[in-house]
Amino acid sequence: MRGFQGKTLGTPIGRYRLLQKNSPSSLLLDFGRAGGFVRGFLFNRRFIHLATQYKVGIVGATGAVGHELIRLFTDRRFPLSSLRLFASARSTGREIQVGGFTGTVEEAKPEVFDDLDVAVFSAGAGISRALAGEAVRRGCVVIDNSSAFRMDNAVPLVIPEINGEALASHKGIVANPNCSTAITLMGLCPLHREFGLRRFYAATYQAVSGTGAAAIRELEAQVKAHVEGGASECSVYPHPIAFNLLPHVDSFLDDGYTKEEMKMLNESRKILGLPDLRVSTTCVRVPVIRAHSLAVFAEFDRPVDVERARAAIGKFPGVEVVDEPANNRYPMPLDYAGKEKCGVGRIRRDAASENGLAIWIVGDQLWKGAALNAVQIAEELAASGHLRVPAGV
């Protein structure tokens, strides 16, 4: 904390009391001032007085990501004036309790955004297309977790640790990347900055919770049926997922890739600012409840070095190196469910590429792949003074 001086924060700060550490760059503090302490939120060396509070809405609050958004907005002590929950008309009146928060679901319709500062959408692309524009017109910033606006040139697609500066140009909507893209780039971005990324190949191992609560129930039911000698029933996936792998995430396109696989290509190019980046991905659904894993083989412009790679990843915010194969230590989904950081291990030279590295990445797709990234975007917008719809939009 010695580096956080009053000049950096723009306020005469001396003593402090650490109340909560959300992440290496996100702290809740009481700062010493004349006559006592002022409570504030420190995010990437920027200070938000908690007197500045925001009216927040969650669209799609009944889903798995919606529940995690509630948990993270409250646990990270985002400066909330109010937190309202929205879903379809059939869920109106439903009570949702997450941790110490209890809220009642309202119907998501245009007029609810009149009294909100920011809304996080996690209800699918159709709902986002129908309501996000209305929200912005009514003065509410939208952080969208669907695919609706990711490739819109007028909408920033943001992972705060990687391209947070893009938030300054938002026109009311900010897009959250696809879960697999977000987790992959958390491992690849520090290597790109060190060696210059040219291309990468990836195989994903995606947990069923990425499909939703029904997929979790289907996996559990199939495991139970297998143990009891019964037949596996399939309703969410076209084949049994228990004790099986499905090389099929999202719908297939004419060229043989799936939409999910093309998201990795297109979103990576936009986030990293590399329009000519070459990417080939195979996405696989696996019988894991939570946290995605990826095997990534990346080729770079400059000669690579494994120790430099470990150092670059180790100092990058939001990532940790777990790479001790001799001691059976490497990232695994069980260790990263409900964890803020992504883990990177199995770091080695790619034997099939001259300037290549092979790495293994694991991250919670409900957190860094969705809810956490959205809350971090809200934090960054608040800290930078951009949590508002720009004039003239």
Residue 116 lies in a domain: no
How is residue 29 written in tokens?
A: 């503090």
Cα dihedral sign, 240-246-252-256: negative
Buried b (16+ CB within 10 A) or exposed e, 273-298: ebeebebebbbbbbbbebbbbbebbb
The residues annotated with a catalytic role in the active site are 179, 292
Residue 24 lies in a domain: yes
Cα dihedral sign, 359-365-371-372: negative
Write out the chain's pLDDT in tens, 393 residues: 333 333 334 444 445 555 555 544 556 555 555 445 455 656 555 555 555 799 999 999 999 999 999 999 999 989 999 999 999 999 999 999 999 999 999 999 999 999 999 999 999 999 999 999 999 999 999 999 999 999 999 999 999 999 999 999 999 999 999 999 999 999 999 999 999 999 999 999 999 999 988 999 999 999 999 999 999 999 999 999 999 999 999 999 999 999 999 999 999 999 999 999 999 999 999 999 999 999 999 999 999 999 999 999 999 999 999 999 999 999 999 999 999 999 999 999 999 999 999 999 999 999 999 999 999 999 999 988 899 999 888
Q: How far apart are CA 87 and CA 105, in angstroms?
A: 7
Residue 302 lies in a domain: yes
Residue 376 lies in a domain: no
Q: How far apart are CA 18 and CA 29, in angstroms?
A: 5
Same domain for 45 and 184: no
Q: Return the ∠ at Cα 104 (arms to 98 and 110), rounded to 5°.
A: 120
Q: What is the number of structural domains in the chain?
A: 2
pTM, whole model, 2 decimals? Answer: 0.88
Give the three-state DSSP class for 14.
coil
- Residue 292 sits in a domain whose CATH number is 3.30.360.10
Residue 378 lies in a domain: no
How is residue 48 written in tokens?
A: 């938000």
Residue 101 lies in a domain: no
Residue 87 lies in a domain: no
Residue 164 lies in a domain: no
DSSP 65-101: HHHHHHHHHHHTT--EEEEEEEE-GGGTT-EEEETTE
Containing domain of residue 255, as a range? 180-365
Q: How far apart are CA 371 and CA 149, in angstroms?
A: 17
Other Cβ atoms less than 10 A from the Cβ of 307: the count is: 8
